[in-house]
Structure 1
Amino acid sequence: MIQVLENQVQSMAEGAVQSLPSIGIAAVVLLITWVISKFASNLTSRLINQTDLRPSLSTLMNTMVRLGVWLTGVMIAAVVVFPGMSAGSLIAGLGVGTVAIGFAFQDIFENFFAGVLIMLRDKMRIGDTIEVDDTIGKVEHITLRETHVRAFSGELTIIPNASIFKNSVDIWTDEPLRRFNVAVGVSYDTDIDHAARVIQAAVESCELVNQEKPIQVLADGFGASSVDFDVRWWAASSGADAVLNRDEVIRAIKRALDKAEIEIPFPYITHTFKETVPLGEKVGEAA
């Protein structure tokens, strides 16, 4: 038994020694692959910089070039180390292995392919303000696996690309301007035409409101204690103005209505009272 083990170990050692030249050549092939990968990456970056491709798509193309070079180099190195392996058998083996790896790392590959598709899309670029699920913020970075979104409050949210690709995404900055609105109610004894003119003038006085787009003060309905207006205006869709313009408009409307002595009523609330009868007394019984 011991003799058999010694023979096996000796055979393995001799095989390893015989394989050293092939392993050395494979190492040289991988080194050359690394050099070619760096050269191809730099060349791709220089060529892309001469175009107007968006950064996310440039990153995708650079990654694909490096991946293609490394796959070719690894296949050549594998054939050198294992001379009996042909390119066809290696590709067939990679196919079977890919299926097995795909099942094991389904979520990773899902995010990877979602990232590729996101980078190929025309919409949602780096710098856009987006809203997805409960996250609102500015897109800082898009990778092949995840998207980095910086919220207005400062924290960074990392969202898997599959989540962005499967769900609806609101892109606030797709256009330089977007429409905002706020509801305003005035009391029923108010002249609504006069109130509408006061609100219109208040919105027009705001610096962050775009004056070239229409400002609308539309009667929207009858509330419990007020006639409600839907006030609409246009302003910048990106940066702090997207938040500050709403504050400016609401403050201006409140000051204008106060100056015009137009009441913004509280919601009308009804209360139901229940009469209690002391023990021993009957309802309707004379005192």
Structure 2
Amino acid sequence: SLFFGSLVLTLSTVAHQVIQSIVILVLLLQTAFWGNALITFSLEHYKKQRLGKDASEATTVVALGFIGKLLLFSIIILLALENLGIDITALVTGLGIGGIAVALAIQSILSDLFASLSIVLDKPFVLGDFIIIDDYLGTVEHIGLKTTRVRSLSGEQLIFANNDLLKSRIRNYKRMYERRVIFSLGVTYQTPYEKLSAIPGMIQDIIKKQEQIRFDRAHFKSYGNFSLNFEIVYWIQNADYNIYMDIHQTINLEIYRKFAEEGIEFAFPTQTIFIEQDREPPGK
């Protein structure tokens, strides 16, 4: 109404320009509010549809919302400055060293921001995954714009900068479809040949009786300092660590029971010392 009123009234050129500038600024401000509301509504709608399927989408929504609003308000501010008669090109050029300093100051923030986008888009891991990062391990609890938080097995929360996280070697155990188990055992050197040759078959029968198991091999591997060593390999068709431990415990107990029945002794570190007594010289 102010703008249309200025068209009817006879005003000076300066007054007309002031009114026009005010109207344009108000329109730009209203556009910013509408754009902000549109971005928020669109992302919230997307979040409700996708969040139940993949919890890590929440970070994508936050990151996209941040970037979208940053671009929107940057454009609005530049248009407002131009409407006020400020030379945008000269302003940007005049920033000079100050602009470079600001860019360097926010470099780490921006690198972590883009790293978070890389994590949620490429999905090397998602919320709930059990991962190992160098010497640290735990369950992913939160993927943020700057940091990722991991709950360790001992209970404390580990916090990693997203940019540093992508530079690390990550092992994701949640995506392990099968777990390869390899273990060894040793029996005494006094074990008879017949029982020694029967051990691989005994172990194979024990392992094959377990569920979710794929037997690989059992071999007499080597002669140790105090034991005859066997190496056993099998696969558990489940990535859950607790299930692995339950199955492996059952196998160990069954091997112990079977060896006790067959009279096969497990080896343990021993040392045999031979003492040679001095003999009397001949003729005495």
TM superposition score normalised by structure 1: 0.68
1:138 is paired with a residue whose SS is: strand
RMSD: 3.8
1:189 is paired with a residue whose SS is: coil
Q: Structure 1's 265 and 156: CA in aligned 2 closer, same or farther, altered over 3 A?
A: same
TM alignment of 1:165-184, pairs within 5 A? 165-184=166-185
Separation in 2, partners of 1:258, 1:98: 78
Deviation readout 1:246-270 (Å, 9 max, x if unpaired)? 3333333333323332222112458
Q: Structure 1's 215 and 163: CA in aligned 2 closer, same or farther, altered over 3 A?
A: same
Q: Which position in structure 2 is the counterpart of 1:204? A: 208
From 234, 237, 240, the equivalent of 2:239 is 237
Q: Which position in structure 2 is the counterpart of 1:109? A: 110
Q: Which position in structure 1 is the counterpart of 2:219? A: 218
Separation in 2, partners of 1:178, 1:270: 40
Separation in 1, partners of 2:229, 2:116: 45
Separation in 1, partners of 2:100, 2:126: 32
Letter in 2 for 1:203: I
Separation in 2, partners of 1:180, 1:197: 18
1:240 is paired with a residue whose SS is: helix
Q: Which position in structure 2 is the counterpart of 1:279? A: none
Aligned residues: 248
Instruction: Verify the 8 A CA contact 2:51 2:57 in the aligned structure 1.
Output: no
Separation in 2, partners of 1:89, 1:249: 77
Deviation readout 1:196-243 (Å, 9 max, x if unpaired)? 223223333445xx23x2242133322211122222222221252244
Letter in 1 for 2:118: L
Q: Gaps spanning 5+ residues in structure 2: where? A: 1-18, 274-284
Matched, 1:38 2:2: no
Letter in 2 for 1:69: K
Q: Structure 1's 84 and 218: CA in aligned 2 closer, same or farther, altered over 3 A?
A: farther
From 265, 273, 277, the equivalent of 1:263 is 265
Separation in 2, partners of 1:48, 1:95: 43
Instruction: Verify the 8 A CA contact 1:41 1:66 in the aligned structure 2.
Output: no
Q: Structure 1's 266 and 49: CA in aligned 2 closer, same or farther, altered over 3 A?
A: closer
The alpha-carbon deviation at position 55 of structure 1 amounts to: 3.6
Q: Which position in structure 2 is the counterpart of 1:121? A: 122
Q: Which position in structure 2 is the counterpart of 1:252? A: 254
% identity of equivalent residues: 24
Separation in 2, partners of 1:107, 1:37: 26
Instruction: Verify the 8 A CA contact 2:81 2:88 in the aligned structure 1.
Output: no
Matched, 1:76 2:80: no
Instruction: Verify the 8 A CA contact 2:63 2:145 in the aligned structure 1.
Output: no
Q: Structure 1's 30 and 68: CA in aligned 2 closer, same or farther, altered over 3 A?
A: same
Q: Which position in structure 2 is the counterpart of 1:274? A: none
TM alignment of 1:49-68, pairs within 5 A? 54-57=54-57, 59-68=59-68
Q: Gaps spanning 5+ residues in structure 1: where? A: 1-17, 272-287
Whose radius of gyration is greater, 1 or 2? 2
TM superposition score normalised by structure 2: 0.69
Instruction: Verify the 8 A CA contact 1:27 1:77 in the aligned structure 2.
Output: no
Separation in 2, partners of 1:243, 1:91: 63
The alpha-carbon deviation at position 74 of structure 1 amounts to: 3.8
1:68 is paired with a residue whose SS is: helix
Q: Structure 1's 147 and 30: CA in aligned 2 closer, same or farther, altered over 3 A?
A: same
